[in-house]
């Protein structure tokens, strides 16, 4: 898995979304987050989403996914943390050379994919309705925004579901806000 993200982010053209194992529904078409991405950032967004999907559906991730699904936390939190964790892995391998709008939009898409994955993997035992999906997407976005150093107001707005103007990244070297 190491190096996979760098190769995709640094030079490859956007690829078709990978089909998940065992008949899943694919990734990259669950939210309208891609519509908000300028065309010049679309390839970056698509590579982030594809890289997260490859991790989510990889054999190496099975134990990690099962551990996350077994946690005794509210379902939106579990899904949001899982999506944020996937994005952290992708961003770590990409070494931070990704724009904030692409990261946030990809996080929303990945959270929606994780929600569907959890519902399918649990054979419907973990009911993921639109409210759970919305809360999970907010949780994932706020967690990732905090992780990449967005200001505290933007993170709190994301948690509260408020639409704000484009959040501003903190200056280089600034500490991520406390939640």
At residue 27, the pLDDT reads: 54
Rounded mean pLDDT, 5-11: 39
At residue 159, the pLDDT reads: 58
Residue that the structure tokens 């053209």 belong to: 13
Helix (H/G/I), strand (E/B), else coil: 31:
coil
**46 has which bridge partners?**
none
Residue 146: domain span: 4-13+34-160
Whether residue 20 is contained in a domain is answered as: no
Longest dimension (CA), the chain: 45
Whether residue 21 is contained in a domain is answered as: no
Report residue 99 as tokens.
């724009």
Whether residue 84 is contained in a domain is answered as: yes
Whether residue 121 is contained in a domain is answered as: yes
pLDDT tens per residue across span 148-173: 888 767 766 655 654 433 433 333 33
Whether residue 179 is contained in a domain is answered as: no
Whether residue 52 is contained in a domain is answered as: yes
The model's confidence at residue 30, banded by pLDDT at 50, 70 and 90, is low
pLDDT tens per residue across span 37-76: 888 888 899 999 999 999 999 998 888 888 888 889 999 9
Whether residue 141 is contained in a domain is answered as: yes
Calculate the CA 110 to chain-centre distance.
4
pLDDT tens per residue across span 71-116: 899 999 999 999 999 999 999 888 657 888 889 999 999 999 999 9
Whether residue 165 is contained in a domain is answered as: no
The beta-carbon contacts of 12-17 under 8 Å, at least 24 apart in sequence, are 12/47, 13/43, 14/42, 14/43, 14/46, 14/47, 14/50, 15/46, 15/47, 15/50, 17/46, 17/49, 17/50, 17/53
Please count the structural domains in the chain: 1
């Amino acid at each position: 898995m190491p190096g996979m993200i760098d190769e995709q982010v640094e030079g490859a053209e956007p690829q078709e979304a990978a089909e998940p194992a065992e008949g899943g529904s694919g990734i990259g078409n669950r939210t309208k987050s891609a519509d908000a991405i300028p065309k010049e950032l679309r390839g970056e967004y698509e590579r982030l989403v594809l890289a997260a999907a490859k991790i989510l559906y990889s054999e190496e991730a099975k134990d990690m996914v099962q551990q996350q699904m077994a946690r005794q936390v509210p379902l939106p939190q579990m899904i949001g943390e899982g999506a944020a964790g996937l994005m952290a892995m992708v961003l770590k391998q990409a070494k931070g050379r990704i724009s904030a709008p692409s990261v946030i939009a990809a996080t929303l898409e990945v959270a929606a994919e994780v929600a569907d994955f959890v519902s399918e993997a649990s054979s419907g035992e973990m009911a993921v309705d639109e409210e759970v999906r919305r809360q999970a997407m907010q949780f994932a976005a706020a967690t990732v925004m905090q992780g990449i150093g967005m200001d505290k107001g933007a993170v709190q707005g994301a948690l509260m579901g408020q639409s704000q103007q484009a959040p501003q990244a903190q200056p280089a070297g600034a500490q991520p806000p406390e939640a």
